[in-house]
Structure 1
């Protein structure tokens, strides 16, 4: 349907058929059929006559019948509907006239020809009477037998029915009206509706009708009927275009089903109803017949100029099937059509269109969460892209609207500016010096350091890791979250498959330690030089000695064909992601506070309630600030279950491609 919001209307449901054309009533005139005795001239149909004399006598007999009917027609203007059963039935049907002459609007008062006046029933009776007369005049047995066969054929009920249908069609075509105007072009839809109504029917008539409507021959007939009806509707719609002389107009017909939405939005421009947006995935987009900026004049013969978009919504909500639009094409210069490539992005913010006052149409808005993969299929409007959420393509026929990258960056910038001003005003209430320090701190937030611009979307691509070059696994979680135990368990069970990166340190080696096996022992100056060059993923000092994990150490494990396991702080993800190591980040989330207490008690730890609360709070902050960088997540409810879940995620890297930033593949 078309759903309206803020002066826009968008089509999300299915239209029905347009105005039904009235059936053109055709006139069937009945005349009395006199018997043989009334027209017997007394002289001799029983006498044997020559063939020529027989034909002359038959013609004379038919002419006498015709003259008598003409005299009866001129004698009175009204025909008694009770004179025959056919007229009585016609009189009970208000769609057919029961009078002829000046009172009958179907006639124009002029004298009709013999063919126009002749009733098919009377014609057949005339033919039967004439054939019976001919049979009496025939002398040989073979001719008598042939005439009898013809009489039997003419008296058969099915022949008389076919003869009546033939005369009715011929009568219509003789008037120049063709085979008759269809009442609807949606007979197939009506049949489906009737079948659905009859699903629960157990009555004999209902079952018989249901069986009849499902026969292939009848369905083919109805389909042919609809095709012919559509062609006639096109002719009628073309005639309505002439009403808008002086303006360039075009006629557009779109065929819809109930399951396929139109996919367009319209807006009011003064009194005009204008196509504002053509949405990907709808009938309008696939047909290429509707364009942005087209003014809609009529829909199925109903004028819409001057109507509010809400009225257009109510109108189209009741329509389905064939939609015929009369349009004034857009005067805008249209760029030549080009094939747009799909851009895959990962969202770095949550979005709910119901809370966005700027979305052109909330019904078309696409909600998503931080970290979701979105398939952007149209960027024609830089402020509002059209996209599908990954995994929802089959259930989402129409593309949804999402904020464009530049538009969302402007909004986030404005939001941050207002937030900073609010904090600044609050600081002034306390102390000017505190305000200066506060402004200096807020200019170095994590998000602004992590990227040159505000995080909105990151372009992604599918990547399948090579068999000989495994992606490093980075386990992220709060202290006491269980990530260290999971890493040690993997290293101990499968040392040939998993390995840890050898760290660097500035302390002296102990007796049992070997260089490049336990640590890379380096001088302090060498460590600081590599640190300044950005070679360390993370680093720190302990008892006046420096420790760190370098990207070269991780790369050494990757080059050996094994999987490098890392336990990192969230702040280390920036360096790791900027390398060419293509890490797979898994967040190890703690369970509830009570469950966490139980797990730590099994390890002999007795944390205080505030310590447990800090673990859960720290995990919430990590997910809030860095959740868009996580490729997977595991809730550590049980060590064994968490271990199997971790193994499953790692093994999936060998069987399924994963979304990675396109910058990693350059």
Structure 2
């Protein structure tokens, strides 16, 4: 059963317009072919009202660029003077009057009213002492120092009335404490000594440190307010050439909405943009009504500080949690340029079968964010790759379509045959259809083999590829370092053979019992006798401190990997047909052209079907070079950690 999300993508592939495709705001790439969504009457009325209100405010303020005045409140004024602050949110409801400058006439007029009142009182007093007191007051009110102090008092009173008592007043409490301590160093008064002891208390210092940490976060948090009937926030981000913003946008009717915040970008590091935020303006330029391609082109031209006016997402944000990076090996090739389902082609991450990918975000279960192993430094932004379940779903869909097509073709062919043959073949087809083995990713971990427990080396390759010759050469050169597992057999021992040296001799019933119990890595029958290599035989070589060398058929790899032996699998690939003929000629072999072609075709088939099990590949162009490369890979296991399935380490 395919999910509704998958159905949506299938509809899109069939040519229907989808309004939730994304565009990276600052990633270069080919132009998107998205279809612009139709207008909605309710949204159009809202936009017209919004634009009309902006026009009126601009006419009133007499400004040509942006109607938000940084001097409209002290907090916004501080923000404009401090570009390091990421976000600040003054009141944008259109009702707040600009704070009066200390040099304006407001406080002075009030002071003149006070002077008039004092003069009126003076006329009502008759005794000389009262007259003298009033004269002193008049002289005080006339002094410039008093006027300045009164002006400061008036401004502070107005500001304090607007400040919420729960909001932090400063994020430098520790600095203030240290400043007070320096002042109190020369004080010998009892109160000063008590205050100094209090400020140097470790518990109070820890409290001040915690206060500054919380205050810094709160001042940088979104403090939303009302603006033109909408809840908005103001966000400032620095767009540098070497650090992209890392966000995608989509059209939702006439709105431009933040669709995805990409790991590694400035938006993700700041924590100021959230998925679902609607962008109203960027640096004073209205965004509503623009297509996402226009937004992309606009941001491509902008550098430095970007000011976003946003309507915050109405979605309830989950509590922040630390995401664990998951390492996986890819078991399929992926090219985003060939994928019609990828939501943002510019951010698609290509990879090949066998690549190690570091998954850093699975917030979107259908499209994970990841880095290729080794590309973390050169790849500033994480890339999008299909999630495991999503990839399995579309591979299942692909298989279903293919099988149905084959079944239809089979019905046409079977119509010429008997009904009995037709029923038997269709039944066989349905039983052989199994989708449980769809390979996508496997979680991996780094593993460093212990010095006394070497990983077995499995050499895989078609006949005449040279893998068996490489094994024999290793055994002959260093017999103390390499060994083979003693096989089991049901045949009778010969005169010179000893049990446990050439073979482990056992009865047929015991062999079949162990085979059913999964104790054999590989097995076969020759001249009515059973032969096989058991996991216990391999483990015996490992326990001896030597490296077990195995030459196996590809069908044995699943059993070998499911054991706890942690094998290192090396595929020995044949060279070109001409080179292979020359190599076999040195061994006095004269294979036919069709036999050479069969070797190469078999190698391709093995690599296509079982390549995800291979840890390394050696192309046997020259036996000497192949041997040295094999030794290098084996020696590397002692010096470098290797990626192995995480299930091996549990």
Contact 2:485 2:541 in 1 (8 A): yes
Whether 1:440 and 2:428 are equivalent positions in the alignment is: yes
Match of 1:258 among 211, 216, 241: 241
Contact 1:424 1:439 in 2 (8 A): no
> For residue 382 of structure 2, what is the aligned residue in structure 1?
399
> By how many angstroms is 1:317 displaced?
1.2
Match of 1:655 among 639, 643, 650: 639
Match of 1:338 among 321, 326, 334: 321
Give the SS at the match of 1:566: strand
User: Aligned runs of 1:88-487 on 2, under 5 Å?
Assistant: 244-431=227-414, 433-434=421-422, 436-437=424-425, 440-441=428-429, 443-444=431-432, 452-487=436-471
Distance 1:245 1:415, change over 3 A: same
Distance 1:499 1:442, change over 3 A: farther
Counterpart-to-counterpart distance in 2, 1:571 and 1:499: 22
Whether 1:610 and 2:610 are equivalent positions in the alignment is: no
The one-character-per-residue Cα deviations of 1:500-525 (angstroms, maximum 9, x if unpaired) are: 00000111111211110100011111
Normalised to the residue count of structure 1, the TM-score between the two structures is 0.64
Contact 1:272 1:296 in 2 (8 A): yes
> By how many angstroms is 1:444 displaced?
3.6
Whether 1:580 and 2:580 are equivalent positions in the alignment is: no
Counterpart-to-counterpart distance in 1, 2:430 and 2:444: 30
Whether 1:516 and 2:516 are equivalent positions in the alignment is: no
Contact 2:331 2:353 in 1 (8 A): yes
Normalised to the residue count of structure 2, the TM-score between the two structures is 0.65
> By how many angstroms is 1:271 displaced?
1.0
Distance 1:300 1:499, change over 3 A: same
Contact 2:20 2:251 in 1 (8 A): no
CA-based RMSD of the aligned residues comes to 2.1
Give the SS at the match of 1:249: strand
Structure 1 residue runs of 4 or more that deviate by more than 6 Å after TM superposition: none
Contact 1:9 1:265 in 2 (8 A): yes
Would you say how many aligned residue pairs link Structure 1 and Structure 2? 438
**Structure 1: which 5+ residue stretches go unaligned?**
22-237
> By how many angstroms is 1:653 displaced?
0.4
Deviates more, 1:434-443 or 1:465-474: 434-443
Give the SS at the match of 2:377: coil
Contact 1:388 1:400 in 2 (8 A): yes
Give the SS at the match of 1:595: helix
> For residue 150 of structure 1, what is the aligned residue in structure 2?
none
Give the SS at the match of 2:530: strand
Counterpart-to-counterpart distance in 2, 1:533 and 1:568: 20
Distance 1:385 1:13, change over 3 A: closer
Query: Which structure has the greater CA radius of gyration?
Result: 1
Counterpart-to-counterpart distance in 2, 1:367 and 1:549: 40
> By how many angstroms is 1:442 displaced?
6.5
Distance 1:436 1:392, change over 3 A: farther
Distance 1:663 1:6, change over 3 A: same
